[in-house]
Amino acid sequence: MKLLNSFGHAWHGIQYCFRTQLNFRVHLMVLLIVTIAGFILTISNTEWLFIIGCSMLVMALELVNTAIEYLCDTITKDIHPAIKIIKDVSAGAVLLAAAGSVVTGIIIFFPKIIGCLKL
């Protein structure tokens, strides 16, 4: 029962992030587009692994970033230099993962798109 409760709490966290965080919804939309493109362009199993891994990393970091921001805002609403650094570093982690995901997507999809255009 405790395990089921853990999944319920995790699901509530994902729902909270979806409801309150624009970037989370943007990442989900990009994931949907990339998934559709993956099926249309028939990417390999290995390519799917990279797409899934990159996508889940970005989504997970967005959840962590949201939790960190919420915690910081609970501590103080005032502008505090340490809180700013914490929030900036947390957002930077998401940015790095997203940038790496974009590069991975270009490496996977660009040759396939060029191949389709040559037909």
Catalytic residue set: 62
Residues 6+ apart with CB under 8 A from 34: 51, 55, 105
Quote the domain boundaries for residue 109.
2-118
Sign of CA dihedral 21, 27, 31, 37: positive
Whole-number pLDDT of residue 2: 86
Tokens of 15: 């729902």
* pLDDT tens digits, 18-41: 999 999 999 999 999 999 999 999
Please count the CA atoms within 13 angstroms of the CA of 11 that sit on its side-chain side.
6
- How many domains in the chain? 1
User: Does the structure show a pLDDT above 80 at 119?
Assistant: no
User: What CATH number does residue 44 fall under?
Assistant: 1.10.287.3610
pTM for the full predicted model: 0.89
> Is the CB of residue 105 less than 8 Å from the CB of residue 57?
no
pLDDT in tens, 33-83: 999 999 999 999 999 999 999 999 999 999 999 999 999 999 998 989 999
